[in-house]
Amino acid sequence: MCGFISIFGPDGTDTIHDVLSGLLAIQHRGQDAAGVVTFKDRFQAKKGLGLVREVFADKHLQRLKGPLAVGHVRYPTVGMGEDTDVQPFWLDYPVGVAMAHNGNVTNFHELRGSYFNHRHIHLASNCDLEAVLYVFADALMRRAGEGIDPGDVRAAVREVFDRVKGAYSVVGITAEGMYAFRDPFGIKPIILGKKTTPEGVWYAAASESVVLDVSGYEVVRDLAAGEMLWIGKDREPHFLQVADKPHRPCIFEYIYFARPDSFLDGTSVYEARMELGRRLAASFRTTGFHADVVVPVPESAKTAAQTMAEELGLPCREGFVKNRYVGRTFIMPNDETRRASIRAKLNPIRAEFEGKDVIILDDSIVRGNTSKQIVAIARQMGARKVYFASYSPPLLFPCLYGIDMSTKREFIARDRTPEELAREIGADHVLYQTVEEMIDAVRVAGGTPEREFCTACFAGEYPTGDITESMIASIEQDRLAAARG
């Protein structure tokens, strides 16, 4: 689950500062690598492994000139982790195109094996974006004459939709303008913003609305599922619908990935988490258990913990202090790194546990490493009872759309009853949201009673309809091999 931003500023401006501010705002979406490509007479790039602040120095900013730019922060999925895989990618020929994406191409191996060998194109990386870039650039070259118009981009996106399967939100630039498109099911978000300065009008397309906030852009709107955007020489946004499938945005964005101050498809992530907390309070009440305090696992669970505590008439306390300089455990590349970092990341405050019945609230239950350690810490701090709650349902199926969360057999809640799960992690009771309650909470928060979501990692139904058991098995094997190193 990566993050991106693409900007088209007025002639004569340099957009690099807005790009870097935007990437810093979505650093939580990927901490493994960062990159920027700008265009002024030619493409200029700087990419590297590490955080945004580690990859970019003043000397790079002097070089990254021009009103057109695209930037990316990477969260690695299978096969990615090398510096050759760092986005954005670009091609000077057949037409100059730079591109970044968020998602996962599920037929990457097939594309690589047939289409590209056949056309004598050799992909230089293991990054699935490269396949999307070649399909797009090749189709654009065949269409574009004197200049690129919205119809040319539409034809290129149509070809991507025909050939490329999976989930992918894409942004990028050419020598003439900026484009963006969202896969036919719109699984990953893209939002467009606009600002006006004395130099003229600026447009930015990004993964989350916070990117727009930090540099003063007003929201224009989210792209729809299967929709494309082109902003060319006329500096007007051209939105064209390319595919007509049902919209299935990733519900896990609201649970964990997005920042609480972001809006995704018009729904506030903060409001969604507040509603999730209220609903969990209602189910805790039905247990009849006594509790003294709600303690969130920082950072994602803070919002839901506040409303859960309010509903239960309990204090919500900061029982764990997070070291902000240790990365997000969920998106760390392997189990060993994750285990070692949990204790370094969360330090308890004894006064919030000692002699108390504590509800510990987390965003999700995945492999159980974090849950087990957190429960153990609470007990070491003298908690009388430890109730472990998650404001999403337990993850049971792998995400094949861009989050390398686990293989099936690693999910701790798989084939376990809540009682068995509680025993496994050492808690007195385990409480989690149902899939139906989760969906309803996000719908209520957004005022969108009809909206459907991708909930595949919770319920096992993959919206793209092309996911087979053998595909899952093969991706899981890759993940296990990658974990073994």
Residues with catalytic roles:
2
C-alpha dihedral over 468, 471, 477, 483, to 10 degrees? -100
Residues of this chain that bind ligand SF4 (CB under 6 A): 167, 187, 250-252, 399, 401, 403, 454-457
Cα 485 to the center of its chain, rounded Å: 24
**Least separation in angstroms between CB 458 and ligand SF4:** 7
How many CB atoms sit inside 10 A of residue 447's CB?
10
Nearest to 306 by CA among 268, 342, 267, 280: 280
- Listed residue (153, 144, 231, 226) closest to 185, CA to CA: 226
Q: Residue 144 or residue 457: which is nearer to ligand SF4 going by CB?
A: 457
List C-alpha distances in Å: 170 to 5, 381, 397.
10, 47, 25
| Residue 107 contacts residue 166 (beta carbons within 8 Å) | yes
Beta strands in 113-224 (DSSP E): 166-174, 178-182, 191-197, 200-206, 218-222
Q: How far is the CB of 252 from ligand SF4 (least distance, A)?
A: 4
Q: Strand, coil or helix: what is 58?
A: helix
Task: Specify the residue, 44 or 392, whose C-beta has the smaller distance to ligand SF4.
Answer: 392
Closer to ligand SF4 by CB, 264 or 377: give it.
Answer: 264
Query: How far is Cα 461 from Cα 453, in angstroms, rounded to an integer?
Result: 10
Cβ neighbors of 39 (< 8 A, separation 6 or more) are 66, 67, 68, 69, 96, 98, 173, 174, 175
The DSSP bridge partners found for residue 191 are 206, 222
DSSP 42: E
The DSSP 8-state label assigned to residue 107 in this structure reads T
Closest to ligand SF4 by CB, 150 vs 184, is 184
**220 or 459: whose CB is closer to ligand SF4?**
459
Cβ at position 305, least distance to ligand SF4 in Å? 22
**Smallest gap, in angstroms, from Cβ of residue 32 to ligand SF4?**
18
Q: How far is the CB of 215 from ligand SF4 (least distance, A)?
A: 27
Dihedral, CA atoms, 54, 55, 59, 62, nearest 10 degrees?
Answer: -130
CB of 269 to ligand SF4, least distance (A): 14
